[in-house]
Structure 1
């Protein structure tokens, strides 16, 4: 749905760091999603708009975005969910990625936007999001850690059970890059680490 509702002066903005693995190299890619909520009384219920920017999202990624948004709404039941949330993609160079691995961090971002919390600087997350709130496995974790470290991030959250995956040596990579890699199993756990806040039950 496309609306022409003007943004209110009380607009909320949250920056969400996104990590991606790309085929061109093993350095990974760092992208930012800018989330903006106008707090307008209409439309009601709240509407989500993807405005692209210089990041082209594929259908799988957009599907994860919708799941993340719905989960965030369900777990902020005391918030008045009206108005429009606009999502803008920002990258150093135009990129096009597809996959579900940013679902977890998008959920954290949407929830932080709705609750008025801030995402802490220097901490990033990769992992899928399920409807039950679990953070699921992803590929290309070493590349994503490299991308995060390159941007000055020192804590990278990854799905539970993937630190000791035989495909990579994350302990050595973390030591080489001077970063900390932590496992998380749920979006609630990730949310607390990334914002210091908590999510509500539906």
Structure 2
């Protein structure tokens, strides 16, 4: 499975936002990395550079590499509706992200690991593909193995203060979540301007 394995704080510092979860390093050094990082923000960026930065932010936030991200864009462009919103919905409905939103991971990386290790069941069947598209009505549940239950309990303790999303019905006692509907744009907070991404790919 392809995924980004490089430095994370450096990426967050480059864009000025925490893309991989809370970071004390980003709080202490809230300027781009490198020798000239403090002065780097003074240089005016081109329209292409701004759009490219928005795309990279969204990619890193959901842990998707370029080839797979382009596939999501092509699927969003093929469907009827607003391409940018559909792109965000496709990313938000990934199984690893749904597990993250349900509190089964304190980060998308932790939720992805839960999926990859076979700890997650979808409608009673084990699914270990992080990019699996969850549909309304699907039930996501933690497997019955003691290791899966123990890991899920630890994650639920870490995320108990995180507010639940309206498009998921989460039962923490049963360690399961049901996707009631597709999330709306106002319920997705990707910290990007998706219209710039659409314009970048449509050039």
Same fold (TM over 0.5): no
Instruction: Say which structure, 1 or 2, has more relative contact order (CA 8 Å, 6+ apart).
Output: 1
Rg bigger for which structure?
A: 2
Query: Which TM-score applies when normalising by structure 1?
Result: 0.28
Query: Which TM-score applies when normalising by structure 2?
Result: 0.28
